[in-house]
A and B are shown apart, each in its own frame.
Chain A
Amino acid sequence: MEYQIEREEKEVLGDFKPELIPDECGGGIDDYEEALHVLMKFVGSMSSALEQVSGRGANAIVYQAGKRMGHEAGKMVEKTDDLEKAMQELSEILGIEFFFDMWKPANQTGYTVENGNETVVKLIFRDCVVRQTLRRTGLPQKGPLCYLLYGEIVGAVEEVMGIKGKLDIDHVGPNACLKTLTIKWGGK
């Protein structure tokens, strides 16, 4: 007798023919949720395996991946020399997966601080897919996956402003993370 896999869920049957622009992707919200969780677990285990195999090199690999994503995202934004404007525009592009704002202590007047040939701005990341993934998989924050965000912001800033930048993690929390973006004026 031929063996057949049994499922609780009923298989959906329908007609299909190739189409240039599909009208719908199919599936309900539960399917999306399940797919998201599988992806989170997949990315989480990939990150810890990467760390196990490559050690500190994992951070550099993930950073490069993030930087590529950042350059791609930055292409959708108008080029500017104004850091605050760049942050505003990038928050609109990256805002769905990384909801961030500029942040300053209450006694500081402006968001940006000039420091010689550097400009520093503090960014607070409120919603972050990386944090979601880390919490889903039980991994600590500040690990290789956080370098994805580091790379993405640096890549995006480089693309929009045409200058070098770096992002330091000041503090990580379950609801928000504070980072310092430093951009260095004076060429790539």
Chain B
Amino acid sequence: MVKIEIDEDACVGCGSCVEDCPNDVYEMDEAKNKTKVVNEDDCMACLSCHEICPAEAMEHKNIHVAKRLYIDRRISGILKKII
């Protein structure tokens, strides 16, 4: 089962994940102005929320991680040396 963890210190409360999630997994906690997970069971681990989150504030655990054959390891190696 998918487990989603939100780093409340990192979350900027922009609500992008709430808008983007097709299955309404997230909701805004108006009191804290942070995202909260309300419907974890419906998460299909598309990870659109990861892509849209400006603060990289979430982590999905126990999901199918798609193969990343598109990564050019040679370029990644060069980038790792620079960054």
Binding site for B on A (CB under 8 A): 33, 36-37, 40, 99, 103, 105-106, 124, 126-129, 131-133, 135-136, 170-178
| B72 and A175 contacting across the interface, CB-CB below 8 Å | no
When the two chains form their complex, are residues A171 and B41 in contact, meaning their CB atoms are under 8 A apart?
no
Chain A residues with CB under 8 A of B69: 36, 40, 129, 132, 136
Total chain B interface residues with beta-carbon distance under 8 A: 22
Taking each of B64, B69, B73, which has the highest tally of chain A beta carbons within 10 Å of its own beta carbon? B69
Contacts of B68 in A (CB 8 A): 132
List the 5 closest pairs (A to B, CB-CB), nearest first: A173-B46, A106-B41, A175-B47, A136-B70, A173-B48
Q: Does B34 contact A (CB under 8 A)?
A: no
Q: Using Cβ atoms and an 8 Å threshold, which residues of chain B touch A129?
A: 69
The CA of A40 and the CA of B71, in the complex, are separated in Å by 11
B residues with a Cβ closer than 8 A to A are 22-23, 39, 41-42, 44-48, 50-51, 63-70, 72-73
B66 adjacent to A171 (CB under 8 Å): no
Interface of A is mostly: mixed
B44/A174 in contact, CB under 8 A: no
Closest to A129 in B: B69
User: Cβ of A132 and Cβ of B47 under 8 Å apart?
Assistant: no
- Partner of B73 from the list A33, A126, A136, A177 (CB cut-off 8 Å) is A33
Nearest opposing residue in chain A for B41, CB measure: A106
B40 to chain A: closest residue by CB: A106
| Chain B residues whose C-beta falls within 8 Å of the C-beta of A176 in the assembled complex | 44-47, 64, 66
- Which residue from A99, A124, A126, A135 sits with its C-beta under 8 Å from B70? A135
B47 CB to nearest chain A CB (Å): 4
Report which residue of A36, A128, A170, A174 has the largest number of chain B beta carbons within 10 angstroms of its beta carbon. Answer: A174
Bound-state CA distance A177–B57 (Å) is 22
A126 CB contacts on chain B under 8 angstroms: 45, 64, 66
Compute how far the CA of A33 lies from the CA of B45 in the bound complex, rounded to whole angstroms.
27
